[in-house]
C-alpha cells in the first residue's frame, strides 16, 4: 500500500467536525484541554484523543504552563502550521492541491498575546482606549483583506472556467483519436499537467516510462 500524501492525511484529519471546531478555537487563542472540553461540550478524555491526532499530524503543539492556583502544570495548545487546500471539480476537471504557507513566528506571537491578556485587570484598564482603537483598525484590515480575496476568487473562477473548457475539449479529442483506454489516460494526463516531465508523468500515473514515451510519440511529442 502506498504511503498517504500530505493532502490525504490533512483531509482525513479535518473531515472530523470536532477537530475543525478545536482548530477554530486554537487559532483564536491558546486553549487548555479543560477549556476546549467546556466550549465543545465534550469530555476531556474525548478532547485529548483529538489532540493526540492533531499533534501527531503536526497541526498543533502543546506547552507546559504552571498553574496560577498552585496546582499541577497544564498543557496549553497552539497551532503550528498554515496551509490552504483547494479542490476544483466540474465536467472535465478535477484537482485537489495543498499549499503550505510560511509559519513564521505565529506560535510565539499567539503565546505572547496569551501572556499579555493574562496581565492583572488593573494593568489592562489604562490601555482600553488604545485597545478599542486598535480593534477597529484590525477589523478594517480584515474587511479589506476579505474584499481583495473576493476579487481574487472571482478571477480564479474565470481561470477555472477557461481550464475546464480546455479539458472538456481535450477529453473529446482524446476519446475520438485514441483507441485504447491506457493511451487516452496518458494523453489526457499529459494535457492536464503540463508542468510534468515524461518521467514525472509516468510516476504520477504509475506506468512505465517507455509506455508513456511511445504513447506520446503517437502525437509527435518530443521532450
Q: What is the pLDDT of residue 104?
A: 55
Q: What is the pLDDT of residue 147?
A: 96
147 lies in some domain? no
17 lies in some domain? yes
108 lies in some domain? yes
Q: What is the pLDDT of residue 220?
A: 76
Spatial separation of the C-alpha atoms in residues 76 and 135, rounded to whole Å: 25
145: cell is 483583506
Q: What is the pLDDT of residue 217?
A: 87
Q: What is the pLDDT of residue 121?
A: 56
| Structural domains counted in the chain | 1
Q: What is the pLDDT of residue 125?
A: 53
Q: What is the pLDDT of residue 93?
A: 85
60 lies in some domain? yes
Name the phi and psi angles at 222, rounded to 5: -130, 135
How is 35-55 classified by DSSP, letter by letter?
Answer: HHHHHHT--HHHHHHHHHHHH
Q: What is the pLDDT of residue 5?
A: 79
Q: What is the pLDDT of residue 124?
A: 57
Q: Flag whether the pTM goes above 0.75.
A: no
Q: Contact, 60 vs 79, CB < 8 A?
A: yes
Domain with 14, as residue range(s), is 6-118
59 lies in some domain? yes
pLDDT tens column, 159-184: 999 999 998 998 898 888 888 899 99
Ranges of the chain whose pLDDT falls below 70: 1-4, 68-70, 103-126, 221-223
Domain CATH code at residue 63: 1.10.10.10
Q: What is the pLDDT of residue 144?
A: 94
Q: What is the pLDDT of residue 101?
A: 78
Amino acid at each position: 500500500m502506498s504511503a498517504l500524501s500530505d493532502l490525504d492525511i490533512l483531509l482525513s484529519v479535518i473531515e472530523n467536525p470536532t477537530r475543525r471546531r478545536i482548530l477554530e478555537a486554537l487559532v483564536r487563542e491558546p486553549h487548555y484541554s479543560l477549556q476546549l472540553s467546556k466550549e465543545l461540550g465534550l469530555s476531556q478524555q474525548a478532547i485529548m484523543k483529538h489532540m493526540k491526532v492533531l499533534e501527531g499530524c503536526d497541526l498543533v503543539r502543546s506547552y507546559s504552563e504552571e498553574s496560577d492556583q498552585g496546582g499541577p502544570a497544564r498543557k496549553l495548545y497552539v497551532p503550528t502550521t498554515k496551509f490552504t487546500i483547494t479542490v476544483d471539480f466540474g465536467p472535465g476537471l478535477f484537482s485537489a492541491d495543498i499549499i503550505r504557507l510560511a509559519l513564521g513566528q505565529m506560535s510565539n506571537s499567539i503565546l505572547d498575546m496569551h501572556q499579555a491578556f493574562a496581565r492583572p485587570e488593573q494593568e489592562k484598564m489604562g490601555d482600553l482606549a488604545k485597545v478599542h482603537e486598535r480593534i477597529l483598525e484590525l477589523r478594517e484590515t480584515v474587511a479589506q483583506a476579505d474584499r481583495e480575496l473576493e476579487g481574487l476568487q472571482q478571477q480564479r473562477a474565470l481561470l477555472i472556467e477557461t481550464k475546464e473548457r480546455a479539458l472538456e475539449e481535450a477529453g473529446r479529442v482524446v476519446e475520438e483519436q485514441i483507441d485504447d483506454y491506457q493511451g487516452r489516460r496518458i494523453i489526457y494526463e499529459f494535457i492536464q499537467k503540463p508542468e510534468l516531465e515524461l518521467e514525472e508523468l509516468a510516476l504520477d500515473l504509475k506506468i512505465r516510462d517507455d509506455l508513456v514515451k511511445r504513447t506520446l510519440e503517437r502525437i509527435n511529442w518530443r521532450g
